[in-house]
């Protein structure tokens, strides 16, 4: 909190729907005009397990995709990202008929161009930013996407074969963003946090406790 006082974070149950949240080289992630260099950088957890997503020399969008949702509703797509030769991360959803996209400026830690209707967040973690987009999916089709660009608002361009960004810790979940849930081959559910024997309003009032 801004007051400097300690606090507990209690979160509801949530499931990371991405089966491979850190291994973007796995075939479960569809590659679109990118290659993945695994273990290319130290991730926010201090381990050498972040990937570099590198653009090919093809013209088009440069991204990895995965269909994580199976129904319509509100979903959040998030990932930890660090700039490389490219400065822009793109997060979004193709719902089978249209795209919702957000460009994140990894150089300055800013939310940039927004295409479609969504809620966005960006939070600094060392030299990474955790970026998220929450959107309403109107169809069970389509896929979630994690992409990059060499300029704000640019979706399609001809890559140079060497430029990229660093990514780690992808998460797709129902509802709003929650703390990161690692996965290694299957979706993982974190149970709801529960506090027992924590006192009551009779013993903890609004000014102390």
The number of helices, as runs of H, and strands, as runs of E, in the chain is 0, 16
Residue that wins the pLDDT comparison between 95 and 158: 158
Pairwise CA distance, residues 185 & 68, whole Å: 13
What pLDDT score does 104 carry? 98
CA 57-102-111 angle, 5° bins:
110
Token pair of 27 as six digits: 């075939």
Determine what percent of the chain is predicted with pLDDT higher than 90.
75
Residue that wins the pLDDT comparison between 54 and 190: 54
Residue that wins the pLDDT comparison between 172 and 193: 172
| This prediction's pTM | 0.87
The dihedral over CA atoms of 70, 187, 127, 43, expressed in degrees to the nearest 10, equals -150
Pairwise CA distance, residues 84 & 59, whole Å: 19
Token pair of 68 as six digits: 């994580």
Token pair of 88 as six digits: 């822009």
Percent helix, percent strand, percent coil in the chain, to nearest 5:
0, 45, 55
């Amino acid at each position: 909190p801004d007051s400097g006082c300690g606090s507990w974070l209690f979160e509801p149950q949530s499931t990371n729907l991405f089966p491979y949240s850190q291994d973007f080289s796995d075939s479960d992630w569809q590659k679109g005009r990118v290659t993945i260099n695994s273990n290319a950088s130290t991730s926010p957890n201090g381990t050498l397990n972040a990937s570099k997503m590198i653009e090919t020399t093809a013209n088009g969008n440069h991204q990895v995709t995965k269909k994580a949702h199976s129904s319509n509703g509100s979903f959040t797509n998030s990932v930890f990202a660090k700039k490389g030769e490219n400065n822009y991360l793109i997060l979004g959803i193709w719902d089978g008929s249209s795209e919702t996209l957000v460009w994140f400026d990894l150089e300055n830690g800013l939310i940039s161009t927004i295409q479609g209707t969504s809620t966005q967040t960006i939070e600094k973690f060392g030299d990474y930013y955790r970026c998220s987009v929450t959107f309403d999916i109107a169809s069970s089709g389509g896929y979630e996407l994690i992409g990059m660009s060499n300029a704000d608002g640019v979706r399609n361009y001809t890559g140079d074969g060497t430029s990229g960004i660093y990514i780690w810790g992808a998460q797709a979940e129902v509802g709003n963003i929650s703390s990161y849930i690692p996965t290694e081959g299957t979706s993982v559910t974190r149970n709801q946090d529960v506090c027992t024997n924590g006192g009551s309003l009779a013993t903890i009032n609004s000014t102390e406790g």
